[in-house]
């Protein structure tokens, strides 16, 4: 992975230094939102050299144990992995079928007996039903692949074209990559499950209208007041919501985080990610940086799956909501991750939702407030 300034001179220099010696090379690029107007420079450079290019635009980049709003990460593959870019998921007659068909085509590259590839998906953060799409994809592909991914887009949660190849940039879509088995991702969030649970008795997509048959905001207010002594009101909702997300309880005991991001006039709450009707919810308190052994557990899972990572690079996606909660401590958490894994460099982006499982070979779920990490095997 190479971090370069997003101008033609710097890009040409980086591509000259890389200089792949075989046909079929390509790049996965990660851009920060502030650099989106400079994307055509990168597209033109790749077209001129005959390099495949796909990528996403994110709120910021991860690098140098911090968050960057300029430059670009270039993930350079001497042999570009199978990939696809699908638009208009919201209006597609069969969005799941389109993703599954494209993934199956890509799987043909991997011979029987090869390490299981990872289907890594980058969705536009404005796609409202990522969790449902994942359910459908898993029903078709099952354990033929491992799963990982993130949401791209603007931290304002306003529509913005954020997925691209060498000739276009689009929204309301998904970028899919069939990555080699050596890049299987690991996901962690560090939230602890409280004892009290409640039922989401009326929901629609990412909207919670009622909890335990009462307006969702009323229940949310009461629990925060009772457990944390905070007087939550409409005028301070956005100040506190990121620190007190909901947790969806799963049958395997796992907790999937859902951050409330909007409050409706009727007391309904909107979250990042869907809430199934009658789902069992708990109210979580976002942990301090590295709390509950999160970073140590993430590092151990990476070592268990991939061996020593000392001196290598680690592809790292860090939830924007997690950074908002932790503030400056988010950078301390990145430093802790680098120390715990002993990698030479973290490289990645700030994401708007994450895809994966907290256990190896687990069912893929759409999360908030997590870290998703993959070792980078390419020199």
Per-residue pLDDT of 119-134, as tens digits, reads 999 999 999 999 999 9
Q: What percent of the chain has pLDDT over 90?
A: 82
Tell me, what's the pLDDT at 254?
78
pLDDT in the model for residue 191: 81
Confidence band (pLDDT; 50, 70, 90) for 298?
Answer: very high
Instruction: Tokens for 68, please give them.
Output: 């960057």
Q: Over the stretch 240-297, which tens digit does the pLDDT of each residue have?
A: 999 999 999 877 667 899 999 999 999 999 999 999 999 999 999 887 776 768 899 9
- Can you spell out the DSSP letters for 131-161? HHHHHHHHHHHGGGSEEEEEEES-TT-----
pLDDT of residue 22: 81
* Amino acid 358: pLDDT: 66
269 in Cβ contact with 208 (< 8 Å): yes
- Which has the closest alpha carbon to 124: 324, 319, 353, 347? 353
The whole-angstrom separation of Cα 351 and Cα 152 is 6
- Give kind and range of the element (H or E) at residue 298: helix 294-306
Average pLDDT (335-357) is 94
Q: Name beta bridge partners: 26.
A: 52, 77
How far CA 13 is from CA of 6, 10, 70, 345, in Å, comes to 11, 5, 18, 21
Q: Angle at the Cα of 197 (from 319 to 288), degrees rounded to 5?
A: 35
Q: What does the pLDDT read at residue 377?
A: 72
Model confidence at 375: pLDDT above 60: yes
Confidence of residue 64 (pLDDT cuts 50, 70, 90): confident
* pLDDT confidence of residue 363: 82
Q: Using one digit for the tens of pLDDT, what is the confidence trace for 163-181?
A: 999 999 999 999 999 999 8
Q: Nearest CA to 174 among 108, 132, 130?
A: 130
Q: Note the pLDDT of residue 360.
A: 63
- Whole-model pTM: value is 0.90
Computed on alpha carbons and rounded to an integer, the radius of gyration of the chain in Å comes to: 20
306 has a pLDDT exceeding 60: yes
């Amino acid at each position: 992975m190479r971090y370069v300034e997003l101008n033609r001179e710097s890009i040409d220099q980086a591509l000259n230094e890389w200089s792949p010696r075989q046909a079929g090379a390509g790049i996965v690029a990660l851009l920060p939102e502030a650099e989106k107007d400079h994307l055509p420079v990168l597209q033109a450079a790749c077209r001129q050299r005959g390099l495949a290019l796909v990528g996403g635009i994110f709120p910021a980049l991860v690098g140098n144990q911090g968050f960057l709003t300029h430059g670009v990460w270039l993930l350079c593959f001497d042999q570009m992995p199978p990939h696809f870019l699908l638009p208009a998921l919201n209006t597609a007659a069969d969005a799941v079928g389109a993703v599954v068909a494209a993934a199956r085509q890509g799987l043909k590259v991997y011979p029987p007996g090869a390490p299981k590839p990872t289907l890594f998906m980058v969705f536009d953060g404005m796609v409202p039903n990522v969790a449902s799409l994942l359910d459908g994809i898993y029903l078709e592909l099952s354990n033929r692949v491992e799963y990982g991914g993130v949401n791209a887009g603007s931290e304002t949660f306003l529509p913005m074209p954020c997925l691209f190849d060498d000739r276009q940039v689009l929204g309301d879509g998904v970028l899919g990559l069939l990555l080699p088995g050596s890049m299987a991702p690991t996901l962690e969030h560090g939230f602890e499950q409280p004892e009290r649970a409640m039922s989401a008795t009326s929901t629609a997509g990412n909207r919670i209208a009622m909890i335990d048959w009462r307006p969702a905001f009323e229940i949310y207010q009461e629990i925060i007041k009772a457990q944390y002594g905070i007087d939550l009101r409409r005028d301070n909702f956005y100040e506190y919501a990121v620190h007190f997300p909901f947790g969806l309880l799963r049958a395997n005991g796992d907790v999937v985080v859902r951050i409330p991001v909007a409050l409706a006039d009727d007391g309904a709450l909107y979250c990042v990610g869907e809430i199934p009707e009658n789902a069992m919810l708990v109210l979580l308190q976002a942990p301090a940086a590295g709390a509950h052994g999160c970073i140590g557990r993430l590092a151990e899972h990476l070592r268990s799956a991939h061996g020593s990572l000392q001196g290598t690079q680690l592809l790292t996606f860090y939830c924007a909501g997690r950074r908002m909660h932790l503030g400056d401590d988010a950078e301390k958490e990145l430093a802790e991750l680098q120390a715990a894994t002993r990698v030479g460099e973290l490289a990645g982006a700030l994401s708007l939702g994450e895809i994966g499982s907290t256990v190896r070979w687990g069912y893929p779920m759409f999360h908030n407030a997590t870290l998703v990490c993959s070792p980078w095997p390419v020199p």
